[in-house]
Amino acid sequence: MPLDPFFDERLRTHRKYLIDRALGNVRARLTALWPFARSAGPAAVAAAEKAPAAAVKSADLPAPTGTGTPQAGSGPALGPRSRARAKHRKAALAWDRRELKTVGTPGPKVRATEHRLAPDGAPPFRVRIYYPEPPRDGGSDGTDARPVPAALTFFGGAFRIGGIDYPTTDAAHRRRALDAGVAIVAVDYALAPEHRYPVPVEQAYAALTWLFAQAPDLGIDAARIGVAGTSAGANIAAALTLANRDRAARPLLLQVLEVPVVDLTGRSLDLSATRALRIPSLIALRELRSVARTYLADPRQAREAYASPLLASSHEGLPPAVILTAEYDPLRGDGDAYGAALRRAGVDASVVRYQGVTHDTPIFTGVLPAARRWHEDVVTALRRLHA
């Protein structure tokens, strides 16, 4: 199916960004090899790492307030690479704020609580719970109400940008909580490269352990809990189902994985999707592999099950899965392969591909019918937690 016309200008911007970035890296490498050239210096480092705000979201977004982001005045002076990352994250947040205003849908007012977890062996992080009800008057925390199902969720952002404070992420959590009647438990996991694999997976496991232990006090039904994630967040969610099965076998009822990356070796990518957008495969592959290089301390870790859930030796005993992919997204290959692997292991799994759209479709609910249908399908999946 042809690409939806909504994406035409965005595609031109993104294609130019990818090509300019590739050429910039080639020039930087040649400069470094030239024996009579001056050192590239901080300016070159920053130029190599920055991305135009309009192109940032195509790798998927979330907020710079995440635990992986250094805060001003909170530590030693930042080096050139750290400054470049901070600038990139700031631009991504500003871009996301504009996107919500122009092409998104504001989130409704719902009751929300925030909690800080400090697990052993992992950095502290925040968890925000969005309840499927309006804010309460009189300061009641609502724990006297009937317990509700919950979905532990993980934002996207290529492991290196994002957070639960991103406007489009926050709005989506609010809409989904209210429409599905499910508490959305959003994890503000640490970002790479400040905190690499397996830190986010361990934080995810700590959040799941906490959620089950504290469910009665939180007004959540421990018998009706699932997990969900988008892009890099779907990687973490899928890894969490494996870790849970291997360590504790807590009863998870569902996993909802949106445009998941589940194979960091890159072998499952479907580059025909990027070729259809007239993006050279070499450039697209380089950009996608940079995500793995940022997240993993050692390339060999890409073969580990908690880094690449598709490569797990067994997928038996995992919760039923609903997987959503986009036609013009090379990660559609990951989604297809993971759905097939789950079904081979006897897991109830469905894979739905949305035609004519791209990786970041879910945020465009204000202008794109496919995005609104995407939201409705996620809500339908989450309602399975009421069973």
Catalytic (active site) residue 329? yes
Strand partners, 114: 128
Catalytic (active site) residue 195? no
CA–CA dist 301, 307 (Å, integer): 7
Whether residue 204 contacts residue 232, with contact meaning beta carbons closer than 8 Å, is answered with no
The encoded tokens of residue 210 equal 């906490």
Q: Which of 270, 329, 334, 360 is catalytic?
A: 329
CA–CA dist 3, 357 (Å, integer): 6
CA 207-224-374 angle, 5° bins: 85
CA–CA dist 196, 117 (Å, integer): 18
If you search the block for the tokens 């759905």, which residue do you land on? 339
Q: What is the DSSP letter of 1?
A: -
Q: State whether residue 139 is helix, strand or coil.
A: helix
Catalytic (active site) residue 231? yes
Q: Which of 58, 82, 231, 308 is catalytic?
A: 231
Closest of 358, 332, 258 to residue 4, by C-alpha:
358
Closest of 128, 105, 106 to residue 117, by C-alpha:
128
Strand partners, 170: none
CA–CA dist 168, 366 (Å, integer): 11
CA–CA dist 146, 139 (Å, integer): 18
CA–CA dist 156, 357 (Å, integer): 17
If you search the block for the tokens 């960091």, which residue do you land on? 264
Q: Which residues are known catalytic residues? A: 231, 329, 359
